[in-house]
Amino acid sequence: MRFGASTFIWVSPFSNRCLELLRKIRAIGFDVVEICIEDPATIDPSAISPILEETGLAVLTCGVFGPERDISSDDPAIRQRGMDYLFRAIDLSHGVGSRVLAGPMYSAVGKTRLLDNAEREKQRALAVAGIQRAADHARPVGVKLAVEPLNRFETDMLNTVDQSLEFLQMVDRPEVGLLLDTFHMNIEERNLPDALRRAGDRIFHFHACANDRGTPGRDHLPWPMIVAALRDAGYAGDVVIEAFNPGIREIARAVSLWRPLAESEDALARDGLTFLKGVFTT
């Protein structure tokens, strides 16, 4: 089991100007860095790869999906911008050596609408078609897509594992699976360990997040039961801490983070890593 940290803990956006962060993440003790691709134009794989080789860090990537990158939009121009971004993110993932690109790529974060059944099915069909195109682009370069269900306050499309498994069945591409995040699951799943077991081998990536998006372990989540469920599901991928910096106003507003959740970003990462290593190895 490898443990990782999201660049969102410290910076937004991640770019070539933040490369020293990779050395910090390795020095704290992480095996993996999850690079968040906010603006692909600011991230150069040729600058990142030597540092990854130097430090021994593995890399994963996560996409960022705002209103102008919505592949389920009613507006064809917005859908095309969303696909253009997805293709670039896939190519960048391949360039830095990431085997998984994760995130809520089916819609725009914050898109929450009351729709009738016909409108909902149209929205879902557009998302399915877009993810199929992205999977077909990702397959030749060996990148898998991990679709992330979010809580009801952040999306109206995929909130639960069961909804997401139905969506994957519609997509019908082996390259597409799930990113499951304990922060969102804590809100939406009636029984979090059971939901992990139902997801089974469709779990491609996992975010170990506190229920308040603070330090894992300083929360009410049933971590020993979560670990047991992941083992039962056969998950052998990476475990990544995703948290956000309240000092970055745009991100803080986007995720409704109104107060500091740890002494510092470094402390959140360090203490969370210590906890996760302990609970996953007992």
* Chain segment 126-147, per-residue pLDDT in tens: 999 999 999 999 999 999 999 9
* Chain segment 61-106, per-residue pLDDT in tens: 999 999 999 999 999 999 999 999 999 999 999 999 999 999 999 9
Concerning whether 148 is annotated as a catalytic residue, the answer is yes
Count other C-beta atoms under 10 Å from residue 47's C-beta. Answer: 12
Q: Say what the pTM is.
A: 0.96
In angstroms, the first-to-last Cα distance of the chain is: 13
Q: What is the pLDDT of residue 255?
A: 85
Q: What is the pLDDT of residue 260?
A: 85
Catalogue all structural domains in the chain, each as residue range(s) with its CATH number.
3-281 (3.20.20.150)
The catalytic position among 34, 188, 189, 242 is 242
Q: What is the pLDDT of residue 134?
A: 98
> How many CA atoms within 13 Å lie on the side-chain side of 247?
7
Count other C-beta atoms under 10 Å from residue 223's C-beta. Answer: 19
Concerning whether 20 is annotated as a catalytic residue, the answer is no
Is residue 239 within 8 Å of residue 276, measured between CB atoms?
Answer: yes
User: In order along the chain (282 residues), what is the average pLDDT of each group of 10 residues?
Assistant: 96 95 98 97 96 97 97 98 98 98 97 95 98 98 98 97 98 98 98 98 98 96 98 97 85 84 95 97 84
The catalytic position among 38, 148, 175, 265 is 148
DSSP string, the chain: --EEEEGGGT-SS--GGGTHHHHHHHHHT-SEEEEEES-GGG--HHHHHHHHHHHT-EEEEEE---GGG-TT-SSHHHHHHHHHHHHHHHHHHHHHT-SEEEE-TTS-TTB-----HHHHHHHHHHHHHHHHHHHHHHGGGT-EEEE----TTTBSS--SHHHHHHHHHHH--TTEEEEEEHHHHHHH-SSHHHHHHHHGGGEEEEE---TTSS-TTSSS--HHHHHHHHHHTT--S-EEE----TTSHHHHHHTT--S--SS-HHHHHHHHHHHHHHHHH-
